[in-house]
Structure 1
Amino acid sequence: MTGFRAQLAEQRWDDHRYYHHSLVNQSLHFVSACTFLVAYIILWIDPAVASLLAWGVAMTSRQAGHFFFEPKSYDHVNQATHDHKEEIKIGYNLFRKVVLMSLWGAVPVVLLISPTLFGTLVEPDGVEAYLRHVGIGWLFLGVGAIAFRSIHLFFIHDIETGLVWATKIATDPFSDFKLYKGAPKRLLKGERMDYPDEVEAAAA
């Protein structure tokens, strides 16, 4: 268990120091974390609504931070190129995220073309029922994406690495809330970039 926790901390720290320099990105991750935490609660009551909230708000704000605001030039803090960071990324790098978000966008289109998903679902009665089908589709996509990458990591790394990564993804909203709760305030003060060593010292 000690090794598991150590690897979890390492994955979280690597993810932060490599991919969260922008305070805009950090602020969007804070919004995402808050939304995911609400979705976690709703998940036990209404999974479709929770999924719509998670994918429609939390995931879009989270990925927008990475795609549009995070620097992709040479990382002088970590002395690494963007290509190097993408190559060693444990989870979903930007290319894999493009594939994932493409599938995300395809779900409502497919259900619009075939509301019954080629006869496997009940015909939706109105917009609300259609959106519920989309929500459940997104829920399966999310669970499937985590399971797929975790199993992939079993083979290219080891089982522990895959389990640690899956745990990291599931608990990211909690750690992101704690880590990035000060980002919006700093952003409003005019700051734009963050340095990982300062965050690490503050969290110690």
Structure 2
Amino acid sequence: MRYAQSESLKAICLILAGVQLPAAGSSPALALNSQSIAGHAGGPPKALPIRYCTVEEVGMTHWEALVRFDDEIREAAAKLLPFGLVWVDKMGEAFFALDEDRKYLSNIVTGLMEEAMLVARYDALEALEAERAEAAQWIKSISRFPDGEEVSKDALAVLVELRARGFVVSNDRDGTVRVAKDGRGTSYVRSNADVVRLGQIFIREPR
């Protein structure tokens, strides 16, 4: 369980709980006794257990407050934000691990940016490999028409272009190729000639 770190967040939590805070100059630890707690409708004070609320109850963590309201932290976090919120959170973890020493902020941001760029490149390569594998599987699935005729290079080029234009190109078990798109209905092609004719209808239109 994480708890609010700053006195201001603790104070907010106590106020939300209906607790009357000590006057200015009182104990900064907000150690309230039963006499400092508001009573009900003018009745006698009611003793309540004093506790500091969790950051979940406050609705904002100490790190979130720093990112929002501390100019130096916000500027540093902005450099990592393009890579995703997870990297801003990693910055917070490193910052707290180093006892909130701001002399490390520059090194934290630089190191995390380098790591984030490496991860982004790796993810892009993985996505490209997955796309290539999916494309190869798709081409294999439509290699022949129902009568055994192989899909020609010209017909394959038409089908690839239709996919690029948002059509869903799939095949039935018998080899019939299905070409569908919302607002355009579904077309069934069973030969290279059918594919070429379909391409003449749809591909003549600009993307």
TM-score (norm 2): 0.22
**Bigger relative contact order (CA 8 A; separation at least 6):** 1
Larger radius of gyration: 2
Larger proportion of helix? 1
